[in-house]
Amino acid sequence: MSAAETGVGIEPVTDDPDTGGFFAAAREGRLVAQECVGCGNLQQPPRHRCVACLSTDLAWHDLPPRGTVHTWTVVEHQINPNFPAPYTVLLVDVEDAASNVPLRFLGRIPGRVEPELGAAVELVFETVGDAVLPNWRLA
C-alpha cells in the first residue's frame, strides 16, 4: 500500500542517479554512505562525483547501525497532512573509521522525544509505500 493510500508518510524518489543507491541499500537492510573508489573519501549526502578528488568512480560503504543525536525538533504544528503532529525529527551523527567527520542522517520518531544532544540511537528500518527508510530509535 502506498503512503498516499495509508495517509501517513511521504515516499521518496528512490531511483535518482545520485541518491538511488542509498535507498537500494536500505531495501537490503544496510545503512550506507557514498565512498570514492579513487581516494577513499566518504561523503553524505551522495553526489555525482567525489567532492574531494572529483572522481566519478563511486561505491557504497556500509556504516555501523548506531549513532548519536546531533540535534532535534518536535514538530507540534502539523504542516504536512501525511505527518500527524507531534513527532520528533532527529539529526543523527554516525561515526565510521573511514571518515574523519561524522556522516549525518535524518530520523523520525512519533510523539515528543526530547533526547540530550549526544544521546545514543540505534538503526531500524521502516517501510513507506514501496520504499525502505533507515530510521532511528533511542538506544
Partner 1 sequence: MADDVSYDWAPDACAIAGIGTTEYTKASGVSVTALAAEASLAAIRDAGLEPGDIDGFVRSDYDETSPAALADSLGITDVGYWGQTGAGGAAPCAMVGQAVAAVRSGLAKNVVVYRALNGRSGRRLGKGVAATGAVGGNSTYLELFSPWGMTSPGQFFAMITRRHMQQFGLTERTLAEIAMVCRRRANANPAALMHDRTMSLDDYFAARMISSPLRLFDFCLENDGAAAVVVTSTPRARDLAQKPVLIRSVAQSTGTTRIGPGQMYPVLMSDSLTELPSRRIAERLYQRAGLTAADVDVAQLYDCFTITLFLQLADYGFCSQEDAAAFVESGALDLGGAIPVNTAGGQLSESYIHGMNHVIEGVRQIRGTSTGQVEGAEVSLVTSAPPPGSSALLLVAP
Contact set with partner 1 (CB under 8 A): 4, 9-16, 18-19, 22-23, 44-45, 47, 51, 70-77, 79-83, 87, 89, 91, 101, 103-104, 106-108, 117, 128-129, 131, 133, 135
Cβ 19 to partner 1, closest distance in Å?
6
| CA dist., res. 57 & res. 36, Å (int) | 6
SS3 74: strand
What is the dihedral angle through the alpha carbons of 82, 90, 45, 11, rounded to the nearest 10 degrees?
Answer: -20
What is the dihedral sign for C-alpha 65, 116, 46, 99?
A: negative
**Closer residue to partner 1 (CB): 107 or 121:** 107
Cβ 136 to partner 1, closest distance in Å?
9
Cβ 91 to partner 1, closest distance in Å?
6
